[in-house]
Amino acid sequence: MKECKADAKIETKCLHAGYTPKNGEPRVVPIVQSTTYCFDSTEHIAQLFDMPTEFMYSRFANPTCDAVEKKIAALEGGAGAMLTSSGQAASLLSILNLCSAGDSFISASTIYGGTVNLFSVTLKKLGIECIWVDADASEEELANAFKPNTKAVFGETLANPALTVFNIEKFARLAHQNGVPLIVDNTFATPILCRPIEFGADVVIHSTTKYMDGHAVQGGGVIVDAGKFDWAASGKFPEFTEPDESYHGVVYTRDFGPMAYIIKARMQLMRDFGCYPAAHSAFLLNLGLETLPVRMKQYCENALKVAQMLEKSDKVASVNYPALPGNPYHEAAKKYLPDGTSGVISFSIKGGREAAVRFMDSLELASNVVHVADIRTCVLHPASATHRQLTDEQLAAAGIDAGMIRLSVGLENVDDIMADVTQALEKV
Ligand SMILES: *Cc1c(COP(=O)(O)O)cnc(C)c1O
């Protein structure tokens, strides 16, 4: 077999990128269930501790995970990628690779609730300040948010659950004018619907627990490095351009060029935090990735029909789905998500929190779960679940009201999904 071509179409990459079996090797990416690897000399192992160029220990690398990392890097158009044991771990490490105590970073306020908590509570305890901004503010206003110690900018392509569409080009421009990289959480869009690197993002992260896996069988995350940010020219990142004493003087930009960010993340952060997934999880994630293009297409098709139906219902106060004409992010969606805006819809039922709960408890096919972006239709009430820790003010900033329901349309026949939603609405 020949290696998957760099210019192959994305459907082809989903199946072939990252793993090329040689003569007599398994067709399917094998699960390498071994924590460690053999070397014939002490000297060889000593060298690996200076420069880990081969697999040596499962806390930071594994051949099964490696194949999936290469596939996701290819899908996003990045130079390299690193899997993590959850999406939260990916968000955390993506920031810690840039910020130390005393630094700040800017984040759009319409992002996933778990990330809001990580940024505003836990990172604060570590001495890292998150400066929250309204992603739709003018470029001048946003430029004022930068401080001399600001080291990164963060946003979500298609925010969970606000479903706002992030103006990636605007934020990339602002970040680069200030000499810092843009990190984009691309979980809901997946590289099938949007590839943020093509719009200027420097780092892309995912919760692979969602669409990438799609079957609700593994939890994971990934960080992708575009390999384009010029750390030396910025002058703000001495950790990239000066010797790392914890690796006998490795200089990431000098020694790894466009892979500086992702290799630093693995060598420093994964080594020390150890939030690396098991090979079996990566194997399951890979199965999900193989069918991602067909699934994303169908999620979008089903969700659009359900959104159109909800829009017509007199029980529904508002429907938020960017692919609907009239949605405030419809134009942005046409640019960043031209093939559809995923299977996730948020909508508010007339009657607020009580009506929302009544609707959810009346569903027969859709499951009431703490999950989203699954192959099965599911619902969640953000105000009492994922966003429970947020104050009313933070809820509003995240684009959520108490009666809002997040409906994740799955791949059942769309007529059955619509019938279920209709009968539950009738009970409200
Ligand atoms: C779920 C989610 C996360 C967190 O991922 P986990 O795998 O649950 O840790 C981060 N960002 C977004 C957009 C998510 O939907």
Q: Residue 286 carries which side chain, given as an amino acid letter?
A: N
pLDDT > 90: what percent of the chain?
89
Q: How confident is the model at residue 406 (pLDDT cuts 50, 70, 90)?
A: very high
Q: Tokens at residue 147, please? A: 């401080």
Q: Sheet of 80-84: strands edge to edge?
A: 80-84, 221-225, 203-207, 182-185, 150-156, 104-108, 129-133
End-to-end distance of the chain based on CA atoms, in angstroms?
Answer: 58
Ligand 1 nearest atom to the CA of residue 208, by list position: 7
Helices assigned H by DSSP within 108-237: 113-117, 123-125, 139-143, 168-177, 190-193, 231-234
pTM of the model: 0.97
Helices assigned H by DSSP within 270-291: 271-273, 279-290
Residue 269 is classified by DSSP as I
Least confident among 39-43, 346-350, 395-399: 395-399
Distance 206 CA to ligand 1 centre (A): 7
pLDDT in tens, 254-297: 999 999 999 999 999 999 999 999 999 999 999 999 999 999 99
List Cα–Cα distances, 206 to 50, 73, 155, in angstroms.
30, 12, 12
Residue with tokens 């690193």: 82
Q: Which is nearest to 408 in space by CA: 387, 379, 365?
A: 379
Distance 112 CA to ligand 1 centre (A): 7
Q: Tokens at residue 345, please? A: 């819809």
Query: What does the pLDDT average to over 314-323?
Result: 96
3-state secondary structure of 337: coil
Kindly state if the Cβ of 191 falls inside 6 Å of ligand 1. no
- Residue 424 pLDDT: 97
pLDDT in tens, 20-31: 999 999 999 999
Q: How confident is the model at residue 393 (pLDDT cuts 50, 70, 90)?
A: confident
Q: Tokens at residue 117, please? A: 């908590």
Kindly state if the Cβ of 327 falls inside 6 Å of ligand 1. no
Distance 46 CA to ligand 1 centre (A): 37
Contact between 71 and 14 under an 8 Å Cβ cutoff? The reply is: yes
Contact between 87 and 205 under an 8 Å Cβ cutoff? The reply is: yes
- The CA-CA-CA angle for residues 251, 274, 45, to 5°, reads 60
Kindly state if the Cβ of 213 falls inside 6 Å of ligand 1. no
Contact between 248 and 238 under an 8 Å Cβ cutoff? The reply is: no
pLDDT in tens, 85-102: 999 999 999 999 999 999
Integer Cα distance of 120 and 132 in angstroms: 9
Q: Tokens at residue 5, please? A: 């071509």
Kindly state if the Cβ of 308 falls inside 6 Å of ligand 1. no
Q: Which is nearest to 136 in space by CA: 171, 105, 160, 106?
A: 171
Q: How confident is the model at residue 248 (pLDDT cuts 50, 70, 90)?
A: confident
Q: DSSP per residue over 31-68, as a string?
A: ----SB---S-HHHHHHHHHS--S--BTTT--HHHHHH
Pick the residue whose CA is nearest to atom 2 on ligand 1. Answer: 207
Kindly state if the Cβ of 221 falls inside 6 Å of ligand 1. yes
Ligand 1 pocket test, pick from 187, 211, 217, 371 with the greatest ligand atom count within 8 Å of Cβ, gives: 187
pLDDT in tens, 35-47: 999 999 999 998 8
Q: Residue 242 carries which side chain, given as an amino acid letter?
A: E
